[in-house]
Chains A and B, each alone.
Chain A
């Protein structure tokens, strides 16, 4: 009896999971199908099934519209993601290590401040940061997008927790006794041991930057500096409002597909680190 009941329960669980999976995957399926249609097909054919195959034409259009500005946006997104990702990781690694392993006056106070500031809402800071940067004439440069993204209080917190738990003090002490300076101890002993957490912070910072919209939207007015998110939105705006000469919907759809492929690939390859990051941050 119980075995039968358990089997029934398992079937029910899988049915529910199946329905939910359909919901989560529906927009991706639509995107995949829609990217193969031309603009007429997008409006005239069944939305969830293939019609004429125009994927190659669409991709060509994506990369040639407006003198290939999409490629510039793609490059910008990649550049912003890499520079802010690496920068934020380096800054967080230094600070996280210091908070975990070095005794210095003011450490407790500064860390308490950090914990409080994690609560400051990111988007409420965008306009104030813009107003300040406008005063300093830094608006509409790549630095206006990259520099604020280097600040990652949560990354510091995560690396502090990880370093505190995973690197024994004796290991650092041994290196010091061997005559290594503090930076040397950090670089050759601590840093290699911090690697899994560093990858996690790097991944999260890069994705946050790749997905960022509000900050570059506010900071940049030169469309040669736009990242993909802001660029695609301008295409979408002009296509929706329909002020002539603008990009067509099929270009936006194919452009969206191209934009999410790197992320999904990274996500599938680096799953371990995603889960690690979420776990350390939320459940610890």
Chain B
């Protein structure tokens, strides 16, 4: 019977203002809320905000043999902007993104449209086949393609690692690994569309290809935007593939091949921690700001709420 009483006090805060029991409840809920998010908040500070702040601080200093750490303000950033090796890497990842992103999203979209259209046993097998590369560690995916690219162990009599084509070869690895992931994202969006629209389009005489291009694709624009965004973010941070394949052709895949590879080598090959921190921070800022601009520019289409 006592439960009935509690229901009343919870459901009907009397005209005389919040009852003491209710106030107590709010306080209890607030405390619980804070305790529940505490571990996450601590991790957020320790492994996101603190490292970012620390890297920013480091990036403002310069270590010298004579004086030790010296405040250098924007020197490291100025150096980065003027550094031809860094600029080369930036230009490379931008170029890479401009070519690889549309190619991969195109393949993912084609695959998604195909499995959405064909409902055969084979299309289910195909869906699995396209997605399996995503489950493979990038290191191992890159190793496999490294063997396939090699003229000694691979089936192709073509030098995939010469400096002219190596960027494309790396792009192929990224495409192979992530196209299936994006396909599933786009396929899920296609599955969410109302089927009746296709019926009326069919009655109007539209073929399967027309329906795919003119109806399905525009209707999953928000998913396409997000897939593109995540691909661009990944592209700018390009690291593992070039690092793994570096020993195969150090002349073509240099120590400054991408900004991330450059930052890594500055830190661990040359102990230039301050400069490395500046590059990392710059890269992080570019990706962060870029994602925001992209989301803002496409906010009508994007689904991030």
Contacts and interface: CB of A to CB of B under 8 A. Distances in A.
A131 interface: yes
Contact of B29 (A103, A129, A156): A103
Contacts of B133: 24, 27
Interface string B275-287: 0110011011001
Contact of A47 (B40, B55, B153): B153
Interface string A170-182: 0001001110001
Contact of A124 (B3, B130, B223, B283): B283
B270 interface: no
B281 A264 contact: no
Contacts of A10: 118
Interface stretch (B64-72, B77-85, B96-104, B181-189): B181-189
Contact of B7 (A28, A122, A177): A177
B188 A17 contact: no
B197 interface: no
A228 to B, nearest CB: 7
A16 interface: yes
A282 B31 CA distance: 32
Contacts, number: 285
A114 B43 CA distance: 12
Contacts of B73: none
B67 to A, nearest CB: 20
Interface in A1-31: 5-6, 9-10, 13-14, 16-18, 20-21, 23-28, 30-31
A34 B240 CA distance: 23
B63 to A, nearest CB: 12
B176 A27 contact: yes
Q: Which of A13, A99, A173, A177 is most buried by chain B, counting CB atoms within 10 A of its CB?
A: A13
Contact of A21 (B48, B129, B237): B129
B28 A43 contact: no
Given A214-B239, A260-B140, A283-B192, A103 B36 contact: no
Given A28-B132, A95-B40, A151-B47, A210 B137 contact: yes
Contacts of A90: 39
A119 B302 CA distance: 14
A98 B33 contact: yes
A275 interface: yes
Contact of A16 (B39, B110, B120, B131): B110
B37 A95 contact: yes
Main secondary structure of the interface of B (DSSP, over half): helix
Contacts of A16: 110, 114
Q: Which of A26, A124, A148, A176 is most buried by chain B, counting CB atoms within 10 A of its CB?
A: A124
A124 B284 contact: yes
Interface string A114-155: 110101111111011111100100000000000110110100
Contact of B30 (A104, A131, A173): A104
Nearest to B43: A151
A237 B247 contact: yes
Main secondary structure of the interface of A (DSSP, over half): helix
Interface stretch (B12-20, B87-95, B144-152, B162-170): B144-152
Contacts of A176: 25
A1 B33 CA distance: 64
Contacts of A195: none
Interface of A: 5-6, 9-10, 13-14, 16-18, 20-21, 23-28, 30-31, 34, 42-43, 46-48, 90-92, 94-95, 97-99, 102-107, 110, 113-115, 117, 119-125, 127-132, 135, 147-148, 150-151, 153, 156, 173, 176-178, 182-183, 186, 207, 210-211, 213-214, 218, 228-230, 232-233, 236-237, 240-241, 249, 252-253, 256, 259-260, 263-264, 266-268, 271, 274-275, 278-279, 282-284
Given A95-B36, A182-B36, 17 more contacts: A14-B120, A17-B115, A21-B130, A25-B129, A94-B39, A114-B44, A119-B288, A120-B48, A121-B237, A121-B284, A127-B267, A131-B51, A151-B44, A259-B140, A279-B185, A282-B189, A283-B303
27 contacts: A14-B122, A21-B126, A21-B130, A94-B36, A102-B36, A106-B34, A117-B48, A119-B292, A120-B48, A121-B287, A123-B239, A124-B237, A124-B284, A125-B48, A129-B47, A131-B273, A131-B277, A135-B54, A176-B25, A177-B3, A229-B139, A232-B140, A232-B143, A233-B139, A256-B144, A264-B132, A282-B188
Interface of B: 3, 6-7, 10, 25-26, 28-34, 36-37, 39-41, 43-44, 46-48, 50-52, 54-55, 58, 107, 110-111, 114-115, 117-118, 120, 122-123, 125-126, 128-133, 135-141, 143-148, 152-155, 176, 179-181, 184-185, 188-189, 192, 207-209, 222-223, 226-227, 233, 236-237, 239-240, 244, 247-248, 260, 263-264, 267-268, 273, 276-277, 280-281, 283-284, 287-288, 291-292, 303-305
